[in-house]
Amino acid sequence: MKPSKLVVIGGGTGSFAVLSALRDHISDITALVNMADDGGSTGVLRDELGVLPPGDVRQCLVALSEAPQELRDLFNYRFDEGSLKGHSFGNLFLSAVQKQTDNFGEAVRMASDILRIKGQVLPITLDNVRLAISWNDGTTVHGEGRIDIMHFVKEKGLPMLHLQPKASLNPAAERAIAKADAIIIAPGDLYTSLGPLLIVEGVAEALLASNATKIYVSNLVEKPGQTSGFSVADHAAEIERFVGAPFIDYVLYNTGKPDPGLFEKYAKTGELLIRADRKQFAGKHYRAVGSPLIAHGQAAASANDLLAAHRSYIRHDPVALLQSVLELL
């Protein structure tokens, strides 16, 4: 039987892919969203208005929306000129409601009603936090936006993530994890998308206490300078390092190949396909399942489509992702 209650943990585009694929096939979906983002439009709004980051929340809201396409497009509309250049309407809407009500949860609720979402979107924490990363040699870098573009020095070893100030788990998110039949860790950047969620105080305890089936959907490509050379098993190991204990039941990874032109485009920037070394899966506590998950061809997109910037790149095929996930549930 398919689970009636599903929790998806992740950031923006990765969660968007999973939520879009599963929305019409699971009766009760909750998206738990990273709240450490401080880049792009989100970063400007945080700095100038003092609001919590709206960007990843907006993406998850649109992914679960059952509203007409033009309303979803409106929330994704990004101004390309004037003083609002770079801002999406949805980010501005969420920020405006938070300023009006002094309650980010109320902003998410109102947007959820307008977009007629199926399920719910919850910030992993309601604390106003920033991400920091450090190494054993004493090097520390602050800010998700800065960390996102860094190239790590491998000789320093694996980095440690910190939230400043310390963040506590949103009680509503804690309840969602406790009630879930299945939990999916969505694809996403290890150190700026998934890590900041998993190190929120209370998340590890909630995941370890949960009896839900836990699935990690692996990324398709490496992040140059940060996860270059990481295998699928390496990604899973880092996720469990953030939590502090083994908790994954299944790792779903890609075995497909992209269109040759896309592969060449990615290879030039160092974004290589993540390799799945089957020998590394031997003796693991989780079951690793490979499936061709890469979408082929290009979909038409408007300039303000949420995924417009990714249409020419390697991405998960929603139908293949749906079928593969449902087989594990």
pLDDT at site 296: 82
Highest CATH level, class, for 5-328: alpha beta
The end-to-end CA distance of the chain, in Å, is: 8
Residues 6+ apart with CB under 8 A from 138: none
**More confident call, 231 vs 306:** 231
- Residue reference for tokens 């054993």: 136
- Indicate the pLDDT class of residue 258, thresholds 50, 70 and 90: confident
pLDDT, tens digit, 9 for 90 and up, residues 51-71: 999 999 999 999 999 999 999
Q: Using DSSP, state whether 279 is helix, strand or coil.
A: helix
Tokens of residue 68, six digits: 């007409």
CA atoms of 81 and 65, how far apart (whole Å): 27
Between strands 250-254 and 130-134, the pairing is unpaired
User: Is the Cβ–Cβ distance between 61 and 75 less than 8 Å?
Assistant: yes
User: Is the Cβ–Cβ distance between 75 and 87 less than 8 Å?
Assistant: no
pLDDT, tens digit, 9 for 90 and up, residues 80-110: 999 999 999 999 999 999 999 999 999 999 9
Residues 6+ apart with CB under 8 A from 200: 124, 125, 163, 167, 168, 169
H or E stretch including 91?
helix 89-101
Q: Which candidate, 277, 177, 294, places its Cα nearest to that of 235? A: 277
Enumerate the domain spans of the chain. Answer: 5-328
CA atoms of 154 and 106, how far apart (whole Å): 43
pLDDT, tens digit, 9 for 90 and up, residues 197-206: 999 999 999 9
Q: Which candidate, 217, 236, 193, 219, places its Cα nearest to that of 322? A: 217
Query: For the chain, what is the mean pLDDT?
Result: 91
User: Amino acid letter at 70?
Assistant: E
User: Is the Cβ–Cβ distance between 218 and 186 less than 8 Å?
Assistant: no
Give the CA diameter of the chain.
57
Torsion of CA 60, 304, 84, 106, to 10 degrees: -20
pTM for the full predicted model: 0.92
